[in-house]
Structure 1
Amino acid sequence: MLRRALLALPLAAPAIAMAQEAPFPNRPITIYSGFPNGSGIDIYIRRMAEPLGRALGGVTILADNRTGAGGNIGSELVAKSRPDGYTLYFGTAGTHAINATLYRTLPFDVIRDFTPISHLGDVPNILTVAPDKRPAFSNCAALLSAARANPGRLNYASTGNGASTHLSAAQFVLAAQVDVVHVPYRGQPGAQTALLGGDVDFFMNQSGPAIGAIRQGQVKGLGVTTAQRLPSLPDLPTVAEACNLPGFVSTTWYGLFGPAHLPAPILERLSSAVTSVLREREFSTWLTDNQGISLPPVYTPAEFAEIQRRDVAAWGDIVRRSGASVD
């Protein structure tokens, strides 16, 4: 009798171990970003945290900003973490497409070392000026006229070399054929402070923080980089129409990533939960009305991965044409 019981133990052990494994997720999930408090990315993560946690069964979603190196510090942390679904990264076209060309060497590969989970929206930029510091720039035509009359004298802020706020403005400068000086700052707060203080002439800011500043009367919007006007700012013309630059469009995207080799069941669970949040009327309305972010048809992880691969090549060309570099 005792011998039969002992023989049965090895067979029972795996079953006991499996029974002890709790389903994903069963503890807090941390979403890292590479940008500071107050940035459009930080605002998005913190607004998404509660409904996403609810969609995942009531877990806590934590936000952790690891700033520096154009988002690469946070990206590296996630790239080298365990692929268990508890360490994620809020990426952008900057961190996961532009940086592949902007930096000669990276301690990770933007495609090979990550698992794309969900496309979180397309993000435009808004050409902004401080009306009390630059009252003459009442519209884009006036801004470009001043730039052409004073080559090399005007300047613009960005949130860092190679950031979307830099490359969107670089596209604008190239399209308008003007000579304007780029002044990079470390993140959104520094660039916005420089604009409001009159240290720079304009700032091609991301739509989220730009819309808030426009509504508060801090800045004046001269144009948005989308093909169509934003529903949230219907009186704001596009850069194409305001600046007489037909066809000008410059948008980036936000996306959620995990480390490479994220197990399929965890990937599906996360992607499904994010999709449910994006489809919530309250959240989608907040994105479009408050952040100026458009939500295209929901992409599968595989479709989002293809968008990322395409944009690594497309933005690489813009980086090379603009001469942007941080090495």
Structure 2
Amino acid sequence: MDKNLISIDNHVFIKPEYLNHQYVSGNKLRKLKYNLLEAKKGNKKTLLTFGGAYSNHISAIAYAGQENGFKTIGVIRGEELNDFNALNATLSFSKSCGMEFKFVSREQYRNKSTPDFIKKLEKEFGDFFLIPEGGTNEFAVRGCEEILDDVNETFDYICCPVGTGGTISGLINSSSDDQKIIGFPALKGDFLSKEITKFVTKTNWELNTDYHFGGYAKINEDLIQFINTFKETYNVPLDPIYTGKMMYGIYDLMSKGYFDKNSKILAIHTGGLQGIEGMNVKLQQQNKPLIV
């Protein structure tokens, strides 16, 4: 058994990717590895990407860019944020790393991948290396293929949260044919399956869409209690957007007898912990319990 794994019980283990870097942790470090190498190979000086105001991806790009000598630009969803005198913790950190922001309306943001929108950005900012929202592209998938190693072949099930599909695509590609890969989407809808099939050929995977708690960044007090109890019991912090929902789903499926008896489950902790602070701001405004 990998000594770096966290044992929850005899059947469930966690691969703590959130410990692999202080600021670019979890799947972000994996996704950026080959993107940064490709940007350097192309002699690019600037990284441009997209995200929301509390995005782990935005803060990771900002720090990784600074660390690797790139200028960084973040196209942020929500033009109303441009009026704020005080940025939230995520954007403040990103700004301290030198990131320049462009705030756009939610309507504009929906067109972020269109050629016309990209051309306008090129006209405004010049030449740049574009990294998609969430970081998912062929280079990100290649990096995420390195999450699993030979030791992890002993597991029957590999579970991970799903945002844009890059991480689970890498896991699928590097998994053994007799392993089952289960993704727990943080968003509502079935569009992610189509995105994942762009990068994989194997069929040993599925998405369980029962644990998004209403959609992206939506949570309730049951999930908050689960996250807090889990940390108190196992000393493993979970974020409310991704890993908290995944672990909640794993335990619920176990209680329903979904997993084969005596099977071994590996849960990939993809990081995202910096988002807890932003979520707690919202919870405090709603007079709801906080994530500890």
- Whether these two folds match at TM > 0.5 is no
Using the size of structure 1 for normalisation, the TM-score is 0.27
Between the two structures, name the one with larger relative contact order (CA 8 Å, sep ≥ 6).
Answer: 1
Query: Rg: which structure is higher?
Result: 1
Using the size of structure 2 for normalisation, the TM-score is 0.29
